[in-house]
């Protein structure tokens, strides 16, 4: 697709998604209450203005919360399978609108169209998962120590779930949370990234149609717009028992502290500093493919992006030379053109961080193998396109210990057995995703053992990116410890209750206490 035709194509997508073409600073979309300052959304693809959205004031926020509280009172009483039916209908709407929503994700965020469509597919997949789960929100039945008693536990909705999401997955991460929260009987208030506000409005419009068609209150799904100040409204609000926040470790620490002070719950998905270990028994071909996709996919702006490659000394030069040669084949440009591999960074602030990181690794003694740089000229007018770079570095470099949201890959070698590689892999503050490339069963099992990877995700012969909906997604250490999406992640959106029923004419007291009347 030519750059000149992108804006026209996106305006067609916006109309299909019910997002009005607004460039005057008025509020866009349903439930995006906003009387505050204006957010202008510029595409990193071509630097053009897509639209403007009014932000949420404190007064606006209170209206949203009142709407959500009212909706919760009726939504929680709907049987879970009926709540699942609403999520099923939402998934069907997403299927019908996958192409325009995927295009908007690609254009507003800057990821490739394939990744944009893939992100919408993740939304569809979590809806399918949630629909099935709506008939499986089960507790346990336990034997009571008291005769004539039955004891069991059950799960109830929490109430309002606050969702704070990041720009790099402007729709999928919200759906991971909200699809599960909805079937659990919760209602949701979503603050999307101010760097991709139109994606949130598109999603809100789609769900609003479903709610209207089923005569359900709009407060089941609400959005608020703005910067960190709107997030502070949510984090400080005791009416929101759970805050699910995705973003930087710095942001997560602030949210965690604020929510903990009011004894609320927080689900945190924070920074990653992910590594792939390549052993002498690795399949070099799939190792290279996994490393490249992990390092340059979404222009290195995934929390699961591959930042470090830990290679055994015996194959280090072979892997390095193959990787450097492969990087020369990368095509950088318009992400809506499927011939390109790498799109832009989200904005010029991200470009500055990329440049600073490359300067820092050289300053600390690293060697640049594939030079980076900012691209300019026709097709790169936004100033957000950069070259994926590779540098040899040590794991103890400060810049290596830091997560840089950009396509920079650090190469380092290990000696001896895989134990040494695992020690390097674990030697960072973050603990999200990890991988080992090996055909040696013992190495693979050691990597997955108690003494292996300390990350929430550990893969064998798969890269660090590409988590599946069915598995719980999240990480340890400074990644925050949260789990979203599959497995039993639904439990965090509910409160557990233990129930005991006495069906006798006696009342035995605890610890054998006697009380005679």
| Spatial distance between the Cα atoms of 190 and 187, rounded to a whole number of angstroms | 10
The mean pLDDT value for 347-373 works out to: 98
- Number of CB atoms found within 10 A of residue 269's CB: 28
Predicted confidence at residue 28, as pLDDT, reads 33
Catalytic residues: 269, 303
| Residue that the structure tokens 């703005």 belong to | 226
Q: At residue 63, what are phi and psi to the nearest 5 degrees? A: -65, -40
Q: Does pLDDT of 449 surpass 50?
A: yes
- Number of CB atoms found within 10 A of residue 180's CB: 27
Q: Does pLDDT of 461 surpass 70?
A: yes
CA nearest to 390, candidates 283, 295, 273, 276: 295
Q: What is the dihedral of CA 325, 328, 330, 332, to 10 degrees?
A: 160
Q: What is the largest CA-CA distance in the chain?
A: 92
DSSP-assigned letter for residue 243 = E
The mean pLDDT value for 93-103 works out to: 97
| Spatial distance between the Cα atoms of 116 and 130, rounded to a whole number of angstroms | 21
Q: Does pLDDT of 490 surpass 80?
A: yes
Is residue 17 within 8 Å of 97, Cβ to Cβ? yes
Predicted confidence at residue 9, as pLDDT, reads 78
Show the tokens assigned to 240: 């929101």
The mean pLDDT value for 233-243 works out to: 98
Instruction: Provide DSSP, 196-256.
Output: SHHHHHHHHHHHHHHHHHTT--GGGEEEE--SHHHHHHHHT-TT-SEEEEES-HHHHHHHH
Partners of 267 in the beta sheet? 244
How wide is the angle at C-alpha 453 spanned by C-alphas 271 and 489, nearest 5°?
60
DSSP element (H, E) containing 146 = none
The mean pLDDT value for 339-349 works out to: 97
Predicted confidence at residue 2, as pLDDT, reads 56
Q: Does pLDDT of 33 surpass 70?
A: no
Is residue 157 within 8 Å of 186, Cβ to Cβ? yes
| Spatial distance between the Cα atoms of 435 and 274, rounded to a whole number of angstroms | 8
The SS3 of residue 87 is: helix
| Residue that the structure tokens 């790099």 belong to | 168
CA nearest to 188, candidates 360, 44, 65: 65
pTM of the model: 0.94
CA distances 457 to 263, 288, 297, 311, Å, are 28, 20, 18, 20
Query: Model confidence over 302-324: pLDDT tens digits?
Result: 999 999 999 999 999 999 999 99
Predicted confidence at residue 35, as pLDDT, reads 80
Q: At residue 223, what are phi and psi to the nearest 5 degrees? A: -130, 150
Q: At residue 313, what are phi and psi to the nearest 5 degrees? A: -60, -30
CA distances 411 to 45, 221, 238, 279, 460, Å, are 29, 44, 46, 14, 19
| Spatial distance between the Cα atoms of 486 and 424, rounded to a whole number of angstroms | 29
Predicted confidence at residue 517, as pLDDT, reads 67
Predicted confidence at residue 3, as pLDDT, reads 53
CA nearest to 346, candidates 3, 53, 23, 41: 41
- At 11, is the pLDDT very low, low, confident or very high (cuts 50, 70, 90)? confident
pLDDT > 70: percent of the chain: 96
Spatial CB neighbours of 363, under 8 Å, sequence gap ≥ 6: none
């Amino acid at each position: 697709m030519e750059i000149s035709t992108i804006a026209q194509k996106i305006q067609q997508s916006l109309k299909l998604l019910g997002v009005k073409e607004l460039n005057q600073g008025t509020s866009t979309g349903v439930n995006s209450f906003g009387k505050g300052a204006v957010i202008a959304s510029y595409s990193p693809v071509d630097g053009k203005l897509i639209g403007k959205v009014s932000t949420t004031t404190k007064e606006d926020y209170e209206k949203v919360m009142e709407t959500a509280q009212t909706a919760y009172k009726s939504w929680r009483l709907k049987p879970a399978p009926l709540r699942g039916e609403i999520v099923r209908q939402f998934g069907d709407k997403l299927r019908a609108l996958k192409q325009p929503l995927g295009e908007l994700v690609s254009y507003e965020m800057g990821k490739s169209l394939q990744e944009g469509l893939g992100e919408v597919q993740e939304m569809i997949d979590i809806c399918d998962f949630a629909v099935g789960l709506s008939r499986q929100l089960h507790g346990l039945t336990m034997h009571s120590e008291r005769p004539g008693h039955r004891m069991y536990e059950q799960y109830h909705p929490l109430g309002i779930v606050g969702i704070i999401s990041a720009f790099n997955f402007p729709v999928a991460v919200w759906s991971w949370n909200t699809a599960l929260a909805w079937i659990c009987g919760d209602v949701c208030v979503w603050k999307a990234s101010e760097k991709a506000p139109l994606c949130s409005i598109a999603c809100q419009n789609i769900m609003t149609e479903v709610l209207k068609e089923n005569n359900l209150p709009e407060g089941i799904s609400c959005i608020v717009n703005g910067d960190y100040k709107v997030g502070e409204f949510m984090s400080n609000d005791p009416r929101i028992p759970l805050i699910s926040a995705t973003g930087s470790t710095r942001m997560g620490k602030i949210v965690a502290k604020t929510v903990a002070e009011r004894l609320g719950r927080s689900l945190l998905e924070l920074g990653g500093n992910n590594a792939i270990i390549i052993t002498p028994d690795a399949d070099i071909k799939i190792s290279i493919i996994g490393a490249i996709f992990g390092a340059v996919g979404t222009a290195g702006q995934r929390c699961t992006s591959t930042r470090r490659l830990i290679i055994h000394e015996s194959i280090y030069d072979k892997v390095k030379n193959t990787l450097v040669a492969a990087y020369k084949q990368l095509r950088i440009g318009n992400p809506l053109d499927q011939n390109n591999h790498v799109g832009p960074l989200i904005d010029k602030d991200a470009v500055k961080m990329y440049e600073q990181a490359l300067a820092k690794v050289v300053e600390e003694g690293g060697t640049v193998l594939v030079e980076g740089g900012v691209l300019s000229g026709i097709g790169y007018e936004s100033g957000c396109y950069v070259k994926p770079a590779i540098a040899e570095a040590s794991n103890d470099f400060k810049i290596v210990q830091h997560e840089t949201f950009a396509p920079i890959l650090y190469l380092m070698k290990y000696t001896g057995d895989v134990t040494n590689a695992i020690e390097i892999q674990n030697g960072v503050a973050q603990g999200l995703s990890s991988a080992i490339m090996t055909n040696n069963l013992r190495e693979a099992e050691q990597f997955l053992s108690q003494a292996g990877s300390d990350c929430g995700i550990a893969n064998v012969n798969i890269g660090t990116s590409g988590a599946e909906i069915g598995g719980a997604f999240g990480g340890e250490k400074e990644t925050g410890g949260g789990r979203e999406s599959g497995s039993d992640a639904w439990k965090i959106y509910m409160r557990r209750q233990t129930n005991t029923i006495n069906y006798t004419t006696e009342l035995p007291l605890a610890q054998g206490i006697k009380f005679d009347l």
